[in-house]
Amino acid sequence: MQSAKKIVVGTDASYAPSEFLAGDGKTVQGFDVDLFKAVGQKLGVEVEFVPANFDTIITGVQGGKYDVGVSSFTVNSEREQQATMVAYYNAGTQWATAAGNPKKIDPEAACGKKIAVQKGTVQQEDDLPKRQKACTTAGKPKIDVLVYTGQDQATAAVASGKADAMLADSPVAAFAAKQSKGKLETLGDVYDAAPYGYVLPKDGTQFGDAIVKALQSLDQDGTYKSALENWGVEDGAISNFEVNPDVS
């Protein structure tokens, strides 16, 4: 991979401030973009970001359509069975509602509420099913889960009142609230913190080692931290970059 002149990256460009389209509707921007482009510079290769639906990126990497998936992938054991992952950031989950929380949403008592989420995320696949099970066990109405292809659509559903609340990765929920001109606010604490990981082919551990060295170099020269600070997400900075971290 390092002998190639260009790394093709699959990314879901709806996930501000991590990766999202600029005003021209074509350019992918965000802290994930800035950071991985810096990794590419350390490796001496050009990086091309290709927008894709989030839930198609891992299979795209497996099939060779993309060399890497860079899209705020939370590292978990299921994903590590499908791909090699390189930890580079730390994030948790946070809820968001309309300003003032008019529907009086409590994340621990969301049965019967309309909750927006992006398809393929840990929030949709892990978090909400557990809450759904708790509602059923308690004999309460199920959560009305509204699943969207893009995070921007989930955010818009809350802003318009179509959904009562949403849950997303913590930097994304915080950025959505900040950019909403007072329409949205975050709700409750950040929880379930876990690393974000770059997605590489299963046999890509050598490539992963090279990326770890690039990240370590970026950390030492200050580029890593400044890439996060530019987007206000420096709270998730880590220093223990590694291939396939133990998340069991």
pLDDT band at 2 (very low <50, low <70, confident <90, very high): very low
Structure confidence at residue 101 (pLDDT): 97
Q: Give the span between the Cα atoms of 57 and 45, in whole angstroms.
A: 21
CB of 117 closer than 8 Å to CB of 123:
yes
CB of 81 closer than 8 Å to CB of 166:
no
What CATH number does the domain located at 6-91+195-238 have? 3.40.190.10
pLDDT band at 245 (very low <50, low <70, confident <90, very high): very high
Torsion sign, CA atoms 233, 235, 241, 245: negative
- Residue of 96, 93, 135 lying closest to 116 (CA atoms): 96
CB of 64 closer than 8 Å to CB of 70:
no
What CATH number does the domain located at 92-192 have? 3.40.190.10
| Helix/strand/coil for 97 | strand
pLDDT band at 240 (very low <50, low <70, confident <90, very high): very high
User: To the nearest whole number, what is the mean pLDDT of the chain?
Assistant: 95
Query: What region, left, alpha or beta, does residue 143 occupy, with left being phi > 0 and alpha being psi -120 to 50 degrees?
Result: beta
Structure confidence at residue 1 (pLDDT): 47
CB of 6 closer than 8 Å to CB of 44:
no
Structure confidence at residue 5 (pLDDT): 86
DSSP 173: H
In whole angstroms, how far apart are CA 120 and each of 54, 56, 150, 153, 172? 7, 9, 10, 14, 15
Which part of the chain has CATH 3.40.190.10? Answer: 6-91+195-238, 92-192
Q: Give the span between the Cα atoms of 170 and 42, in whole angstroms.
A: 28
